[in-house]
């Protein structure tokens, strides 16, 4: 056997990214590695990534995390999708749910049958045939080992990091408190050798994971990897975040409410509500954003609004030499579809699968980078779609989004759907066909055509199929408790 050349892993920075990395590595490769995480209590974390997508559950399943324990520790609630308000037009509302719409077959997706039924005056709205969407609309939720509901979570990101830390330290991960003052590199290869802390301690390693947030202390300040700016496609560059006391039952979905220069979020947790206002500084000042958030936020404030500046884009290499960037240090795509934590988890698990025991090489880093790049570009296109496919011209911001030039990859997707009603998903992309479909229709892209598989059925047969799906959903919903009632009995944390 070849000698193991990479054994000492040093994670620079804690927060959600650092402790997810530590969780994956210690859970799967713990006996083979020496893992140290360096973080400082003096450095705050962004800590507003409070909404997730269903892949979060897969990560927890793989890492052996108990759902109820996790939800109590992070004061979490359930999430069935995102409600988009005022996006295509003022007054519009649609839900991008996590569920499957109808029953597809090998020939095509269910929506082709639904489109024909709609033309023939048969059936209802598309959402009538999606269990998760209907449950979200009615504010209901239930899960069990037998249930097949597709859902995610709303969680407190700071509590989540603390929860994962406890798990990791129990598996032997060493946490070092300290500020990184200097990064030592090999003079010939440029590989990172050690982190020198303000305390004078040196933390040596073979592989370094940069979880230092937007600063990118290792990947950018040290290795000068470079950044690919996507702000010409996604121009929002600022966000205000504030926490408020809940004013009513927690709903099982995130709200994304567009305003004249961006959008704002509302995320219900057990103990509070996370609120934020995303905006483009070219069209709105921080003071204007403060005023708008103050006008629209509901409930007593539990914190003061905090301004976060960012630039949408990606690091030119996620893996450079013997350093891998995770989380905000690797890039940032705005939080519209709650993909930030997923990107940390997928790259952390990808590192487990491709761990460089024999040493870091260009071959393995190039392969890793190509996979990460493809996935992120598909996510980028999905988010741009929400802005590009708008009919709003009521403000300079929205008119600019409507008229903007978008990546060719997205233009092709939009044209395929507009002309032929065709939606597809590449093998290496995150969002399913039903996600693309819900957003395209919700943003008022009206297809001129669709697959005629439905014409192989009579009207009576089509009516029977549609009614069967809808009736099954109705029966299931009748038995379900409200989301708030289910949370209360399943994982409620009572405040002291």
Q: Strands 306-309 and 313-315, how do they pair? A: unpaired
Residue with tokens 């690797």: 330
Please state, in angstroms and rounded to a whole number, the distance separating the CA atoms of residues 323 and 9: 10
Please state, in angstroms and rounded to a whole number, the distance separating the CA atoms of residues 235 and 481: 41
Q: How far apart are the first and last CA of the chain?
A: 56
Return the DSSP state at 42.
T
* Number of separate helices (H) and strands (E) present in the chain: 14, 21
Burial class (CB in 10 A: 0-12, 13-18, 19+), 189: exposed
Active-site residue, from 75, 79, 321, 388 = 79
Please state, in angstroms and rounded to a whole number, the distance separating the CA atoms of residues 344 and 341: 5
Residue 375 structure tokens: 């996935």
Asked about 79 being catalytic, the answer comes back as: yes
Q: Strands 227-229 and 313-315, how do they pair? A: antiparallel
Please write down the long-range contacts of 38-43, taking CB distance under 8 Å and 24 or more positions apart: 38/10, 38/11, 38/12, 38/13, 38/175, 38/176, 38/178, 38/180, 38/195, 38/197, 38/203, 39/13, 39/14, 39/15, 39/175, 39/176, 39/177, 40/177, 40/178, 40/179, 41/177, 42/179, 43/13, 43/179
Closest C-alpha among 414, 410, 423 to residue 379: 410
In sequence order, what are the residues at sequence separation of 6 or more whose Cβ sits closer than 8 angstroms to the Cβ of residue 442?
84, 87, 88, 92, 94, 95, 96
Give the 3-state secondary structure percentages of the chain, helix then strand then coil, rounded to 5.
40, 20, 40
H helix intervals, 265-388? 286-296, 340-353, 362-388
Please state, in angstroms and rounded to a whole number, the distance separating the CA atoms of residues 361 and 226: 19
Active site residues: 79
């Amino acid at each position: 056997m070849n000698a193991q050349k990479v054994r000492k892993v040093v994670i620079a920075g804690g927060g959600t990214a650092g402790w997810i990395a530590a969780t994956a590595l210690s859970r799967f490769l713990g006996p083979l590695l020496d893992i140290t995480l360096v973080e400082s209590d003096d450095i705050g974390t962004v800590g507003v990534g409070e909404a997730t997508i269903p892949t979060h559950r897969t990560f927890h399943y793989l890492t052996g995390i108990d759902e109820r324990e996790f939800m109590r520790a992070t004061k979490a609630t359930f999430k069935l999708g995102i409600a988009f308000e005022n996006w295509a037009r003022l007054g519009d509302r649609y839900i991008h749910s996590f569920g499957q719409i109808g029953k597809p077959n090998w020939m095509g997706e269910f929506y082709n049958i639904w489109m024909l039924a709609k033309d023939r005056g048969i059936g209802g709205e598309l959402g009538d045939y999606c269990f998760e969407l209907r449950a979200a609309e009615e504010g209901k939720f239930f899960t069990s080992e037998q249930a097949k509901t597709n859902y995610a979570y709303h969680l407190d990101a700071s509590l989540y990091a603390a929860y994962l830390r406890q798990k990791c330290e129990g598996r032997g991960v060493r946490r070092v408190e300290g500020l990184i003052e200097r990064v030592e590199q090999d003079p010939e290869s440029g590989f990172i050798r050690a982190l020198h802390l303000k305390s004078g301690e040196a933390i040596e390693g073979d592989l370094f994971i940069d979880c230092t947030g937007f600063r990118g202390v290792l990947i950018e300040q040290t290795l000068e990897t470079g950044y690919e700016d996507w702000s010409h496609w996604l121009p929002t560059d600022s966000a205000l975040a504030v926490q408020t006391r809940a004013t009513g039952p927690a709903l099982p979905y995130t709200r994304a409410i567009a305003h004249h220069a961006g959008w704002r979020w509302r995320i219900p947790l057990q103990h509070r509500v996370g609120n934020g206002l995303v905006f483009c500084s070219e069209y709105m000042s921080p003071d204007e954003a403060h005023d708008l958030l103050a006008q629209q936020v509901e409930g007593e404030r539990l914190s003061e609004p905090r301004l976060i500046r960012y630039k949408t884009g990606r690091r030119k290499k996620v893996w450079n030499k013997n350093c891998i960037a995770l989380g905000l240090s690797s890039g940032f795509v705005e939080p519209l579809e709650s993909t930030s934590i997923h990107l940390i988890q997928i790259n952390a698990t990808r590192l487990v699968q491709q761990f460089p025991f024999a040493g870091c090489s260009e071959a393995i880093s190039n392969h890793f980078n190509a996979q990460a790049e493809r996935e992120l570009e598909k996510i980028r296109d999905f988010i741009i779609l929400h802005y590009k496919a708008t009919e709003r011209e009521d403000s300079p911001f929205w008119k600019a989004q409507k008229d903007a030039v978008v990546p060719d990859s997205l233009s092709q997707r939009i044209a395929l759907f507009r002309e032929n009603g065709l939606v597809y998903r590449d093998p290496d992309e995150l969002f399913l066909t039903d996600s693309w479909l819900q957003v395209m229709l919700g943003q008022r892209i009206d297809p001129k055509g669709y697959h005629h598989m439905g014409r192989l059925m009579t009207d009576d047969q089509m009516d029977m199929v549609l009614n069967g799906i809808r009736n099954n959903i109705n029966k299931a919903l009748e038995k379900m408790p409200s989301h708030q009632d289910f949370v209360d009995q399943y994982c409620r944390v009572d405040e002291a």
